[in-house]
Amino acid sequence: MRTLSGMSGPDHGHQDQLAVRGVSNNAVRVGGHHWPVRWPARRRSGVARRALVALELVTGATGLAGGVLLVAAPDGSLLRADPAALAGTPFSDWRAPGVLLAGLVGGGFLLAGWWQWRGYRHARELSMAAGAGLVCFEAAELAWIGVQPLEAVFALVGVTIVGLAWRMPSTQP
């Protein structure tokens, strides 16, 4: 086996590609035809991993911002949250839900996204826990406050994160 730099011809001469009896990193030559080679699973999972990290970081930033705004104005005025929605709940104002939103959703997803981005051990499991936690958070919100428009959106985000994380390879020690 030789590197392409040791071969001649119009398709050869790039030192950054390897040749394995006519196989390059992007095509196979058989009978004068080039056949594409499937991307390795690691390359495909890289796209899903970047999407997972982006979704986790955006969700975390959104949760943190929303929670901070609820804590800053417990009457809900900064987010146009109706205080009447809290009737019959254990909350008298939006401060405690804001702390829960900022801490659990915001902090949890920022941690999970950073952990996944860095490729640390158990990143897959942490991402799945964060996604499942978001679904549970939205289910509790539905039970306490009733139907709110963003509940379904963020529950779907949680399910999507669990699905993307499930497809990630498990990290080994």
Q: What does the domain layout of the chain look like in residue ranges?
A: 1-37, 41-167
Dump pLDDT digits (tens) for 63-122: 999 999 999 999 999 999 989 888 888 899 999 999 999 999 999 999 999 999 999 999
Average pLDDT over residues 143-151: 85
Q: pLDDT above 70 covers what percent of the chain?
A: 72
Give 80's DSSP letter.
T
Q: What are phi and psi of 104, to 5 degrees?
A: -75, -55
Across the strands, what pairs with 34?
29
Beta strands in the chain (DSSP E): 27-30, 33-36
What is residue 11's predicted lDDT score, i.e. its pLDDT?
47
Buried b (16+ CB within 10 A) or exposed e, 90-129: ebebbbbbbebbbebbbebbbebbbbbbeeeeebbebbbb
Closest by Cα among 133, 102, 129, 108 to 57 = 108
The more confident residue out of 172 and 9 is 172
Total-model pTM: 0.71
